[in-house]
Each structure stands twice: as C-alpha cells, then as structure tokens.
Structure 1
Amino acid sequence: MVGAPLARRMKRRGRAAKRSRTPLDSVLEYARLGWASCPGAHPLREGGRACSCDRLGCPDPGAHPLSPAWQMQATTDTAQLTRWWELEPEANVILPTGRVFDVFDVPLEAGLSAMARMDASGSLTGPVAANGDRVLFYVATRGNPDDEDEWWSCSLDCGPETIDSMPGLRWHCRDSYVLAPPSTLPSGQPVSWLRPPDGRPLPDPVRVLDWLADDFE
C-alpha cells in the first residue's frame, strides 16, 4: 500500500494540471529551464483514427513527434514555440532526451515505490512525471558514454525486449524523447507532474538508478 497515497496525489495533480495549464504554457516554462521541445501528435477523439499523424495504423498514437526532423526542430526559442502551438494548440509536448537530461521510465508500481523510499530517506527525486502506467524520473544526462550499448531509442523506434537485471526499465537518453506534461494520452488521461521541475540541479542518474534497482530485485 506504499504507493496508494502517491497514486491518489497523481490523480489530483493530473486533474489540476489539465484544468490550469496549456501545452503552450508548459513549453514556454520548459524553455526557461533550458529544455528544448517540439510538437507531438495528439490522440483523436472522433473518427476512425487514433492519432493526428498521417501514418495509417500508427503504433504509438499521440505519443511521438509530428515531424521526423524532431531532433533538429526541438528548440528553446519562445517565438518558434509560440508559433507552433498557436497553429496546433492540441499538439502534445515532446522533450528530447540526452541533451539536458535523461529519463528513467519505469512501471507505475516500481516508480511509486521508489519515490516513497526516496522520500523516507530524505533523498531528492528530481522531477518526476506520471505517464499512464509509467513513472518517469528526470535525471542529469550522462552525455556520450564510451559504451554505446548503454543507449537505446524510444519504444516507437526500437528498444530492448528485456533487460536481464531490470526488466521493464527504459532509459531515454541520446536520440530519444519523452512525452511531457500536459500532453494527453489516448485514454484521455493527462501526462502530469508528480514532482515538477523547480530549477534545481537534476539528480545523478546512477544514484536514482540505485533506488530503482531495489524494485527490480
């Protein structure tokens, strides 16, 4: 039952975020933090297609960039961000990883358990978001490590089927991205912050990974 209070808080914050913040508000705030963003596809509520993109049978509805050139387009330029979201106000928010931050993407139960234990120990979690049945921990990027096997892309492109020591973990880093608050999932549920970014330095990824590893043993 450790995760129950956090789960309730996640639902409350998700509803509040949906009422009070628009995608444009959020990307401008991310830009102030130095976090680049670009528009993403969004779920369709009517018609026979699940995604606003032009890809038939989209494998990841509403959870991918609008443009295949997203890595070059992602920006902190507030004028460009404003133009994009004024043209596509329902566009979801895509944040590229491996630049300012990496993201540990874990199953909901494991993420809530790790947060509770970090809170109990007084360890800072850094920004944490809820994305459906996943919890995303934003950590300092490791840059370009020598061991290329440590890197993989997001699930829309390719990813390991399993990781022997930590099945279910996705490490979004170079050449990957995440769907950020206040994006909307196909279920209608918003992606929401459990711990919003506050401008403080992001936590060390190895330290956060140690906490997450306890839930995969």
Structure 2
Amino acid sequence: MLNDALNYARRGHPVFPCGIDKKPLVQNGFHAATTDEEQIRSWWEKWPNASIGIPTGPDIDAFVLDIDLPDGPNSLATLEAKHGPLPSTLEQTTGSGGCQLFFKWPKAGPGVRNSVGKLGLGLDIRGAGGYVIVPPSGHPSGGHYTWKKGHVRQRGVNSGVLEVALGQAALGGIWAGCASFGWVLSSAMASTCM
C-alpha cells in the first residue's frame, strides 16, 4: 500500500492513512494529508495495510458524488431521467460495490460542500472538508476499491444533475453549462495507481 500512497503523492495528491473502517489513523484526519514522502513512509511503516485517504475539495481540485448501494443507483437514475445524464468522468468502484464519480472543482461559485442524502437516498457529496478512500484500499465488506476499467463513464455531457447537486437552480444560473468548467478530473488523477 505504501507504493500506491507514494504514487498518488508524486502526482500531487495529498494522502493520509485510514483504517479498514475508513476512519483516519492520524491526528487531524484529512487535514494531515500530505505529499511529503518521508511522512508517508513513516505512516505506512507504522500501518502497512492502511487504506489511502485523499481529501476532496480545492486541495485535489475535485469533488465526489458517492453512489451507495442499494438505493443510490435508483436515485441517480431518477435524477438523470429528470435532468439528463451526468458528464463522463473518472469513476471508482467502492469496496462495497457502490461507485464514486470524481468531478473537477468549480472555479466559480461558492464551491461544493459535503452532503448526505440531499440529492436522493444513497447519494452523498464529498466536497470541501471531506475525503474519500482510493484504490487499492480495502473495505470493511472484504472488497477493495478499484478504478473502473477505462476510468471514464461514457455518458452524455448534460449538466442537469450537477446543477441540482451544486444548487444551480437556487443560484440563478451562475454555473450555466457544467461542461464549460471542464468537469473531467485531471489526467494526473486518472493515471494514478492503475
């Protein structure tokens, strides 16, 4: 796991160790995330099987839509039927079989905050002040996080669902056209630990 954590850090993504229960193993949690190789080596020498946590938000230039089983896929399908499909983006399968979609952090507007279930049952947002576990980390279910083959969902580029997620309607069109913000996460993240 150490080599994987170092690979993320070398690509500019700060990491921190988490237990199999997804809870941070270090004081200050995701605030302690770093790209410093010496610190990362120290952590993973102490906890060699630690999962890899990465903070979401402006630090990694991304927020994450977490689609949990069993209800998340149906909730997302309902939103997409109403607002159009999500844009293609980097996707990982969680250890429990759900998935997480990584989207580019918006350069304009108020940013993206964490939420649980506000979009629908089984749909959570990890934004500023949040974090996710990344591959090849383990999961309490016994499964492992993995990047989806090809790492990109081949979907349309309609922004309706993201507008709902980001409060587009309430903001009066500040973020018109999500595609114009370049929602696909950086190639650096997409090429990490494959």
TM-score (norm 2): 0.62
Which residue, out of 118, 142, 150, partners 2:106? 142
Instruction: After superposition, give the CA deviation of every residue in 1:11-48 in whole Å (9 maximum; x if it has no partner).
Output: xxxxxxxxxxxx21211111122111100013xxxxxx
Unaligned runs of 5+ in 1: 1-22, 43-61, 118-122, 153-158, 199-204
CA contact (8 A) 1:38 1:70 kept: yes
1:178 to 2:137 alignment: no
Q: Which protein is richer in helix relative to its size?
A: 1
Instruction: After superposition, give the CA deviation of every residue in 1:67-118 in whole Å (9 maximum; x if it has no partner).
Output: 240233100112221221122101111111002211110135729x98xx9x
* Structure 2 partner of 1:77: 36
TM-score (norm 1): 0.56
Which residue, out of 82, 90, 93, partners 1:127? 90
Q: Kindly state the Cα deviation for residue 172 of structure 1 after the two structures are TM-superposed.
A: 0.2
Q: Which protein is richer in strand relative to its size?
A: 2
1:27 to 2:5 alignment: yes
RMSD: 3.5
Q: Give the AA of the match of 1:75.
A: T
Quick one: structure 1 residues 102 and 151, their matched pair in 2 at CA, closer, same or farther if it must change by over 3 Å? same
CA contact (8 A) 1:126 1:138 kept: yes
Q: Give the AA of the match of 2:54.
A: L
SS in 1 for 2:120: coil
1:189 to 2:143 alignment: yes
SS in 2 for 1:129: strand
Unaligned runs of 5+ in 2: 81-85, 166-194
Which residue, out of 109, 113, 127, partners 1:151? 113
Quick one: structure 1 residues 143 and 177, their matched pair in 2 at CA, closer, same or farther if it must change by over 3 Å? farther
Distance 2:34 2:102 in 1: 18
Quick one: structure 1 residues 125 and 175, their matched pair in 2 at CA, closer, same or farther if it must change by over 3 Å? same
Which residue, out of 74, 80, 91, partners 2:50? 91
Q: Give the AA of the match of 1:96.
A: P
| Large movers: runs of 4+ above 6 Å | none
